[in-house]
Structure 1
Amino acid sequence: MAANFKVQASFGTLAGRVKEAISTKATLPGNVSFGIKGGDTLRIAEQLDVAISARYGENLARSPREPLRGNFKLKFPGRDICYYRKVSGGYVNQKISRLWRVQPRCSVTGKDVEMMDSEHQDAVELKNAASFEQIATEGGFISICGFGSLLSERSARFTFPELQNFRVGILHGFRRVFAHVAPVFLERGIANVETKEMSSLSVEPFPGESIVVTVFEISESEVPAFIEREHEFRFLAITVHSLEGEISAHKALLLDSLLGKVICARYSDEEYRRDRCSGDEEYNKRYGRYNIQRIWRDDIFPCRTYLRHCVLAAKNLNQAAYDSFLDHTFLGDRTTSIRQYLAQDENIMLEEPPLALRERYGG
């Protein structure tokens, strides 16, 4: 039997839930097409093996330990960047699991698979304090990347008083999104549960997007404290570029912080409960007492005080950062930009924070 096949694939998320569907159809003897859609834990190589085997018999079956291999073509939408990398199906599984949820469309053709991959090849998930050592400098410093309130050096110093080398950079392959509930807003009385204006900011991979960020260094000794403080987030080590296009010297931990609000990247409720919480008791201690049953969701809106703070931080940094925040930050629907959202409600930028929080939330 011929092993020719073609795959069309796209990856995404719907209402924060991973959806997977596989469809197969034979076109000609020895030639089969697959349509694959999936998200969080999609395993392309395994599913292709299963589908091909079911259609053509055991002679094409592969061991799960011997995944499909091929040339993977990387192409950035909207950019003239393209290169090939010879990798295994296992590598693809690892990348999709690591980058979760959002991947570009791809086409896979022939026995030597050709696939469009993501543009954030160097993203590494940091699961605990010990794993942060891989991005520490010899002097014991960690590079931090801010994209919301940390666009303001003054705001950053509220959380990291001893930070060093505050500077501006650009991060490719990610976008900002207001899509999770922040307990700190409930604690401080600035969340509006009735109107659902209680979301904080995170980032998520998205091909073709770029955001202006800030980068600075903190002591490695500070890592355990802010991991505990920012318990619900996924920590990623990524590569930040200068605005002139040069790669920065150090990888940076992707995060945004407001009152210690560390955000490296979007997590999921399932992963958070499974990997971060030792049981219901811990979850209830952190969220249940506020009657929060879901953290990561697309039906909420930005906390007004926090949104104003972030917009002012971006505006005070420079024009590029301001435009980047307005046009590359989205509501949970992933469609409405912050520029569009503010045009619908101009009062957000006119509302002063509570007096006790005015300095910290002042942009």
Structure 2
Amino acid sequence: MLLPLRCQSIPCSPIPARDSYFHSPHVPVTCSPPLSSPLLPSRFHYPQLQRAFRYPSVLSRSSDMSAGDSSPQSQEEVSPPDTLPFELKEESDFDLIVSSDGLISICGFGSLLSERSARSTFPNLINFRMAKLSGFRRVFAHVAPIFFERGIALPETKEISSLSVEPREAESLVITIFEIQRTEVPSFMEREHEFRFLAVTPETFNGLFYTSRAVLCARYSDEEYFLNRCKGSEEIFFQRYGRYGIHKIWLDDILPCRVYLRHCVLAAKNLGDMAYDNFLDHTYLGDHKTTIREYLSTTGSGIMEEEPPEQLKYRYGG
């Protein structure tokens, strides 16, 4: 489970429900000097993703301290964790980030900003909360077959896109995080088949890193997807995409699925002004230039007034 990084243990007092995403059942500890936000290298590319990481031993000891133990740790024992993302290519790679409780942390940046929507996908999730993720931006550049299955894709207007994230040093996202059981990973990987799975290090809103990684569904490439996930099989690709007339997944000239975009905007708004403004200003169309705020005020005006189909009102209700 994700724990804030600190150096000296202090008791954890109750926090009001609306701010429960700051609360962890584990003991928080504080660090001086404060850690800076993690930034990816200016020429960051996926091949540079690290395949291994390590944390200072003091971090694991801190998580085992009792709430009443305020014995200080020397500053020399503490160093910032490695915050660069690395890729989880196989199911076994998820064992690198599983907690001692058998839990895996998941990042939500689109529909999973909604706890109701998250629980419809992960009924047994725990510890749903908000966090910050630096070095990424949201982009509507991903053709989603689920929208065709549910009848809400509009191929005639190219309004067929779902969300993924891409590395971008200057960007920062408000996300949600929650935990699922390690046993749920195979179904998670199957459901998010076309994504690149990255292990990332989120932050709290006061600039502290978490000591555990979380899984982020990031942009893949058509070539890698076909070779790695479809195993080079045209039949597998056809069953997942080709039967909908889709020949490329990642495109820069498609638009958000209207029902899905409305759902994501409402979900962000329900989290508060900070999450809402962040979504509008740090989420882009496939052109990587137009923000969702700009889109909704021009071409996409009217989307927020449209109701989802009756059978999808609960799932896509924000």
Q: Into which bin does the TM-score normalised by the smaller protein fall?
A: 0.7 to 0.9
Alpha-carbon contact 1:99-1:205 (below 8 Å) kept: no
Deviation at 1:358, TM superposition (A): 0.4
Tell me, yes or no, if structure 1 residue 275 matches structure 2 residue 237: no
Contact 1:179 1:296 in 2 (8 A): yes
Q: Secondary structure at the match of 1:320?
A: helix
Give the structure 2 partner of residue 235 of structure 1: 197
Report whether the alignment pairs 1:313 with 2:275. Answer: no
**Structure 2 contact 193–229 (Cα < 8 Å) conserved:** yes
Q: Which amino acid aligns with 2:293?
A: R
Within the candidate set 292, 297, 301, 1:343 is matched to 297
CA–CA separation in structure 2 for the residues paired with 1:221 and 1:269: 28
Per-residue CA distance 1:283-310 (angstroms, 9 max, x = gap):
1111111110000000100000000000
- Residue identity matched to 1:356: Q
Match of 1:97 among 25, 47, 62: 47
Give CA deviations for 1:308-358 in whole Å, capped at 9, x if unaligned: 000000000111100000000000000000000000132100000000000
Once residues 95 and 335 of structure 1 are traced to their aligned partners in structure 2, the CA distance between those partners, rounded to angstroms, is 19
**Aligned AA for 1:224?**
P
Q: d(CA) in 2 for partners of 1:81 and 1:295? A: 32
Aligned counterpart in structure 2 of residue 128 of structure 1, from 81, 84, 90: 90
Q: What stretches of structure 2 of length at least 5 have no aligned partner?
A: 1-35, 51-81
Q: 1:350 to 1:122 in 2, by over 3 A?
A: same
Greater Rg, structure 1 or structure 2?
1
Query: Taking CA–CA contacts closer than 8 Å with sequence separation of 6 or more, which of the two structures ends up with the larger relative contact order?
Result: 2
Cα distance in 2 for partners of 1:351, 1:169 equals 30
Indicate the residue corresponding to 1:327 in structure 2. Answer: 281
Report the Cα distance in structure 1 between the residues aligned to 2:149 and 2:247, rounded to whole angstroms. 16
Separation (CA, whole Å) in 1 of partners of 2:91 and 2:140: 26
Structure-2 residue corresponding to 1:266: 219
- TM-score, with structure 2 as normaliser: 0.75
* Corresponding residue for residue 168 of structure 2: 206
Distance 1:328 1:121 in 2: 21
Does the 8 Å contact 2:37/2:134 carry over to 1? no
What is the rounded CA distance, in whole Å, between the counterparts of 1:237 and 1:166 in structure 2? 18
1:354 and 1:201 map into 2 onto residues whose CA distance is 20
Contact 1:175 1:328 in 2 (8 A): yes
Distance 1:269 1:192, change over 3 A: same
Q: Does the aligned pair in 2 maintain the 1:165–1:217 contact within 8 Å?
A: yes
> What RMSD over aligned residues (CA atoms) do the two structures have, in Å?
2.3
**Which residue identity does 2:228 align to in structure 1?**
D
- Alpha carbons 1:98, 1:125 under 8 Å: kept: no
Instruction: Using the TM superposition, give the Cα deviation of residue 149 of structure 1 relative to its aligned residue in structure 2, in angstroms.
Output: 1.1
Unaligned runs of 5+ in 1: 1-79, 86-91, 101-119, 255-263
Partner of 1:300: 254
Task: Quote the sequence identity (%).
Answer: 60
3-state SS, counterpart of residue 136 of structure 2 = strand
Q: In the alignment, is residue 356 of structure 1 matched against residue 286 of structure 2?
A: no
Conserved 8 A contact 1:239-1:247? yes
Return the offset for 1:82.
10
- Aligned match of 1:216 in 178, 181, 184? 178
Q: Does 1:171 align with 2:124?
A: no
Map 1:186-197 onto structure 2 (within 5 A): 186-197=148-159
AA of the residue aligned to 1:295: I
Report if the CA contact (8 A) 2:153-2:159 is conserved. Answer: yes
Q: 1:302 to 1:82 in 2, by over 3 A?
A: closer
CA shift, 1:250, in A, is 1.7
- Give 1:358's aligned amino acid: K
Given candidates 201, 206, 220, the residue that maps to 1:244 is 206
Q: 1:286 aligns with which of 232, 236, 240?
A: 240
Task: Quote the Cα distance in structure 2 between the aligned partners of 1:183 and 1:81.
Answer: 35
8 A Cα contact 2:195 2:220, kept in partner = yes
Q: Whose strand fraction is larger, Structure 1's or Structure 2's?
A: 1
What does 1:38-117 correspond to in 2, within 5 Å? 96-98=46-48
> For 1:257-289, what per-residue CA distance to the aligned partner results, in whole angstroms no more than 9, with x for missing partners?
xxxxxxx10001010011111211111111111
Please state whether the residue corresponding to 1:326 is helix, strand or coil. Answer: helix
Letter in 2 for 1:347: G
Q: 2: CA distance between counterparts of 1:301 and 1:205?
A: 20
